[in-house]
Structure 1
Amino acid sequence: MTTFRRRSAIGAAFASLALLATACSPTATDAASPGATDTTKPATSKPATSEPAAPAENIELTITTFGTMGLDGLYKEYEQAHPGITIKATNIDTGGNALTDWQTKQAAGAGLPDVQAVEEGWLSKVMSVSDSFTDLRDYGASDIASRWVPWKVAQATDQKGRIIGYGTDIGPQGICFNGKSLKAAGMPGDRDGFAQLLGGKDATWQKFFDVGKQYRDKTGKAWYDQSGFVWNSMVNQLDEGYYTKDGKLNVKDNAQLKERWTMLADAAKAGLSSNQTQWDWGGGKAFLDDSFATFVCPGWMLGVVKGQVEAGGGDATSGWDFADVYPGGAANWGGSFLTVPTTSKHPKEAAELAAWLTDAKQEVASFQAAGAFPSVVAAQQDPGVTGPSDLTKFFNNAPVGEILAKRAEGVKAQFKGPDDSVIQEQVFGPSVQAIDSGKADGQKAWDDAMKLLDTVVG
């Protein structure tokens, strides 16, 4: 996501959604900025459009995505509008597994699809081999660059000014909460009341944990599902996370990280974490049995919550809601891009498909199906995003699109280094499990993470 963003595709749970986003949340924002887009290079073909002409021959385009990005339902529509094009889609369950799949095929120099989805958390790895991706300016990217929020384009621009990806979603964050559980504890269970409980615009992580301790004292139950997602969110909020803006490793002796880790470890020690298995939640049962009352939610995670509740046998009456509040202010977790590897035999048609899938109408459809908040400006303002949807109905009629638009204000894309997702998952992952299970206190868990850092990253 950013970047430890995994998106779960949980069988029947998501069948009702049809699509979704994954986390999901640079990559190379700052790496791209110094090189700025090379405006001296004109597009060498017609601008990318939403209605590319049908090919003279039958063409099969392959696309690899991950989790539930909200794209699956669009392929048939594209095929019907473009006779001669057949889309063969492969979806990988999580962003982490998709990274492994891409790296394996990239190293082999074979097996890559015509359109490759890239997660924000590993975009910098892609940028290190950006020449192996098609410069989409050759197919009109410069003419449609104003489609997206500027920082999304900057993320996908390498240091040579080559645009190698079209943005799908971004991951502004709010808090999902179970209003029924809060009310049963004698605490505010409505959206505004819950937001004010956390401090409203002045919400902090300390306040979030303090309220969680109150809930724990009243109910004896956990406040959030597990510490990994909370930690990821806390890191993503910093101006600089695991790497500095100029690409240097930034973990050891990082006072901001250590301060937040200590706060999180203390919360886990106080019983605020339910110690759930990431991307499992007992087949959705944990969302229904009061195992926890809050959940950190970038836009794409809303579909995950809905899918989990339905997988566990629940529905819109389960009590889950979505609030316009976030500890520490604006935060982004996740976001993806569609790229065209240079190995594609049909780069023009692949680029046209990627451009179509990331046009406003299609991004609205992805949001309605899954909560994948658009990176396209026109889509963010579309009634299909700001108005009612299946997600708004599920989350107690919350104005989901409006809330996400507000939560996106002030978001700054954090630079993600080449091993950002590795650090999140393989370095801090075991330590997160250790503090949640009570096997280690905060200091020991931190020390263990630093040892792993030396081993895994060096």
Structure 2
Amino acid sequence: MKFSRRTKVGAAVACAASFALIATGCSSAGTGTTASASPVELTVTTFGTMGMDALYAQYEASHPGITIKANNIDTGGNAQTDAFTKIAAGSGLSDVTAVEEGWLGAIQNVSSQFTDLKAYGADAVKDRWVSWKVDQATDKDGRIIGYGTDIGPEGICYNSKAFAAAGLPTDRAAVATLLGGSGSTWDNYFSVGEKYQKATGKAWFDQSGFIWNSMVNQLPEGYYTKDGKLNVENNAALKSAWTKLASANAAGLSAKQSQWDWNKGTSFTDGTFATFMCPGWMLGVVQGQVKTAGGDAVGATAGWDFADVFPGGATNWGGTFLTVPTQSKHPKEAAELATWLTDAKQEVAEFQASGAFPSVKAAQTDPALAASTGISAFFNDAPIAAILSKRAEGVKAQYKGPDDSTIQEKVFGPSAISLDQGVSGDKAWADAMTLFNQLIVNK
């Protein structure tokens, strides 16, 4: 679902080396066998705020003999490193392993090391998901290797107290209009940001990396073309977006925050920045950061709200799949657990716990999804489900190639940080192209 860009460039080289080992057959995974009737312990590795923790006890209660041992890794980036280290080693992957959209392409390069869920009923349940979610998890041989959990339609989180201090509207409908409504553009978003910065002297957004990620994801083609070819160098659409982001930095709109840190959450409570990129799963991150900083659990002191608008139109950031590696000794039981965790009722519960918007169609229209929840209360009783449902309209799945996550994190990640540090857009772009050739083209 979610990924970090904190990992150093050297880690990308190590990861690339791991891919090479896998590709040349230097590691192998066991095929796994059907579990016996004896008690079974299933291990599950997730990451970030996926909202599943409270569900495991329910499953154990309704499935005597099954116990679940859960491991939640802090970020998707760290989960990616963990997964590929264990793929290369040929051991250590959990029976159910969560895989993020951004590195699903790399997983599909080694899809033979993941169970074809058709062997355990995938064809009978595949219509539960939006069709493009199933397509993403289907490898080139037609094997379904993952069951979809959430998708990541994006809206704008904004701090109503910060907006009020700048004389901007605070009502979420008025904020959506201010930012351009259905015709919102990045130019408009940055223009309002400049007005905010001049009125308050404070930053408009937290840092450049998340902005860049959102810009890339909403393009018809990102780092790869639809037919799987690299699409970075001489890409006019990417360069145009980069130029806009560089100009916003030059205007002082970035708060230059460290990703996934935000000064232990205090930057969400002290007005350091006013807006934040929010796919559904990020709502839980915002709430968690405010709580970490000692802010009010229901937003009364934090002032955060959620608007039905996004610069440049509909886009998707992230989304996760539950896979069953062939390393599992209990593939049947693991597949059954993955099936249950991604059924409509459970995806509604995951949304209520974390804001992770369901990829299952029945969950998206379940009345319980719209009911007041803790995550909605935190965002000033915003109708989170209704907003995310609208933000999901028009989303088209962008093809993610095998090195998509590496390009995002290790090629453009350092250059996005350098933009925040005052490096010019042209210099930062040139540095990204150097890394692109080192880590991707000539690896």
Structure-1-length-normalised TM-score: 0.88
Report SS of the residue matched to 2:312: coil
Whether the 8 Å contact between 1:7 and 1:95 is mirrored in structure 2 is no
- Are residue 404 (structure 1) and residue 388 (structure 2) matched? yes
Q: Which residue of 2 aligns with 1:212?
A: 193
Q: Which runs of 5+ in 1 are unaligned?
A: 9-53
Judge which range, 385-394 or 196-205, deviates more: 385-394
Match for 1:225 among 196, 206, 209?
206
Amino acid at match of 2:433: M
Q: Which residue of 1 aligns with 2:20?
A: none
Q: How big is the shift at 1:456?
A: 1.2
Between the aligned partners of 1:191 and 1:178, the Cα distance in structure 2 is 10
Amino acid at match of 2:399: F
Whether the 8 Å contact between 2:4 and 2:259 is mirrored in structure 1 is no
Amino acid at match of 1:265: A
Match for 2:341 among 350, 357, 361?
357
Between the aligned partners of 1:72 and 1:117, the Cα distance in structure 2 is 13
Whether the 8 Å contact between 1:7 and 1:93 is mirrored in structure 2 is no
Match for 2:92 among 111, 134, 138?
111
Superposition CA RMSD, Å: 1.4
Match for 2:55 among 74, 89, 99?
74
Whether the 8 Å contact between 1:233 and 1:331 is mirrored in structure 2 is yes
Structure-2-length-normalised TM-score: 0.91
Whether the 8 Å contact between 1:7 and 1:66 is mirrored in structure 2 is no
Whether the 8 Å contact between 1:235 and 1:241 is mirrored in structure 2 is yes
Whether the 8 Å contact between 1:114 and 1:347 is mirrored in structure 2 is yes
Match for 1:152 among 123, 130, 133?
133
Amino acid at match of 2:52: L
Whether the 8 Å contact between 1:7 and 1:67 is mirrored in structure 2 is no
- Are residue 242 (structure 1) and residue 226 (structure 2) matched? no
Between the aligned partners of 1:140 and 1:7, the Cα distance in structure 2 is 36
Match for 1:273 among 217, 242, 254?
254
Between the aligned partners of 2:294 and 2:67, the Cα distance in structure 1 is 36
Correspondences of 1:136-151 after superposition (within 5 Å): 136-151=117-132
Amino acid at match of 1:170: I
Whether the 8 Å contact between 2:370 and 2:385 is mirrored in structure 1 is yes
- Are residue 385 (structure 1) and residue 366 (structure 2) matched? no
Deviation per CA, 1:297-341, whole angstroms, max 9, x where unpaired? 000000000111111111211210000000111010000000111
Between the aligned partners of 1:452 and 1:393, the Cα distance in structure 2 is 43
Whether the 8 Å contact between 2:5 and 2:413 is mirrored in structure 1 is no
Q: How big is the shift at 1:7?
A: 11
Between the aligned partners of 1:240 and 1:5, the Cα distance in structure 2 is 20
Deviation per CA, 1:355-399, whole angstroms, max 9, x where unpaired? 000001110110000000000011111122122111111101100
Correspondences of 1:368-379 after superposition (within 5 Å): 368-379=352-363
Whether the 8 Å contact between 2:50 and 2:350 is mirrored in structure 1 is yes
Q: Which residue of 2 aligns with 1:42?
A: none
Q: How big is the shift at 1:104?
A: 1.0
Between the aligned partners of 1:371 and 1:350, the Cα distance in structure 2 is 25
Q: Which residue of 2 aligns with 1:124?
A: 105
Distance 1:67 1:116, change over 3 A: same
Match for 2:400 among 381, 391, 416?
416
Equivalent residue pairs, number: 410
Q: How big is the shift at 1:6?
A: 3.8
- Are residue 436 (structure 1) and residue 417 (structure 2) matched? no
Deviation per CA, 1:233-272, whole angstroms, max 9, x where unpaired? 0000001001111111111000000000000000011100
Q: Which residue of 2 aligns with 1:296?
A: 277
Report SS of the residue matched to 1:283: coil
Q: How big is the shift at 1:421?
A: 1.1
Distance 1:293 1:366, change over 3 A: same
Match for 1:285 among 238, 257, 266?
266
Match for 2:183 among 198, 202, 207?
202
Whether the 8 Å contact between 2:5 and 2:77 is mirrored in structure 1 is no
Judge which range, 106-115 or 265-274, deviates more: 106-115
Between the aligned partners of 1:161 and 1:377, the Cα distance in structure 2 is 22
Q: How big is the shift at 1:5?
A: 2.9
Q: How big is the shift at 1:55?
A: 7.3
Q: How big is the shift at 1:56?
A: 2.9
